[in-house]
Amino acid sequence: MPPLRLPTPEVSIPQAPIPQVSIIVPARNEEASLGACLDSLTAQTGVTFEIIVVDDGSTDRTREIAQGFAGVRVISPELPPQDCAGKRKSWTGKNNAIVAGVKAACAPWLLFTDADTVHLPGSLARALEEAQNERADLLSYSPQQVVVTFAERAVMPVIFAELAARYPPRKVRDQNSGIAAANGQYILVRRAAYDAIGGHAAVVTEILEDVALARLFRNAGQRVYFRYGADAVRTRMYRNWAQLSEGWTKNLALLFPNPGRLALQSVFSWFAAWFAIGITASGARSHHFVWIAAAALWLLVYRRIRAAHFTTANNLLAIAVGLPMFAYLLLRSKKAHAKGQVSWKGRAYSVGTPGRSAPPELQAAKPIQRIENQGLRAEN
Mean pLDDT of the chain: 86
CA–CA separation, 290 and 250 (whole Å): 43
Query: Is the predicted pLDDT of residue 3 greater than 70, yes or no?
Result: no
Where are the chain's structural domains? 21-150+167-240, 245-367
Contact residues for 16 (Cβ-Cβ < 8 A; gap 6+): none
Query: Is the predicted pLDDT of residue 374 greater than 60, yes or no?
Result: no
Q: pLDDT tens digits for 96-148?
A: 999 999 999 999 999 999 999 999 999 999 999 999 999 999 999 999 999 99
**3-state secondary structure string across the chain:** CCCCCCCCCCCCCCCCCCCCEEEEEEECCCCCCHHHHHHHHHCCCCCCEEEEEEECCCCCCHHHHHHCCCCEEEECCCCCCECCCCCECCCCHHHHHHHHHHHHCCCCEEEEECCCEEECCCHHHHHHHHHHHCCCCEEEEECEECCCCHHHHHHHHHHHHHHHHHCCHHHHHCCCCCCCCCCCCEEEEEHHHHHHCCHHHHCCCCCCHHHHHHHHHHHCCCCEEEEECCCCEEECCCCCHHHHHHHHHHHHHHHCCCHHHHHHHHHHHHHHHHHHHHHHHHHHHHCCCHHHHHHHHHHHHHHHHHCCCCCHHHHHHHHHHHHHHHHHHHHHHHHHHHHCEEEECCEEEECCCCCCCCCHHHCCEEECCCCCCCCCCCCC
Q: Which fold has domain 21-150+167-240?
A: Spore Coat Polysaccharide Biosynthesis Protein SpsA; Chain A (3.90.550)
What is the per-residue pLDDT for 231?
97
pTM here? 0.85
Per-residue pLDDT band for 371 (boundaries 50, 70, 90) equals: very low
Per-residue pLDDT band for 90 (boundaries 50, 70, 90) equals: confident
Q: pLDDT tens digits for 308-362?
A: 999 999 999 999 999 999 999 999 999 999 998 888 888 888 886 443 444 333 3
Q: pLDDT tens digits for 217-276?
A: 999 999 999 999 999 999 999 999 999 999 999 999 999 989 999 999 999 999 988 888
What is the per-residue pLDDT for 310?
96
What is the per-residue pLDDT for 365?
41
What is the per-residue pLDDT for 372?
31
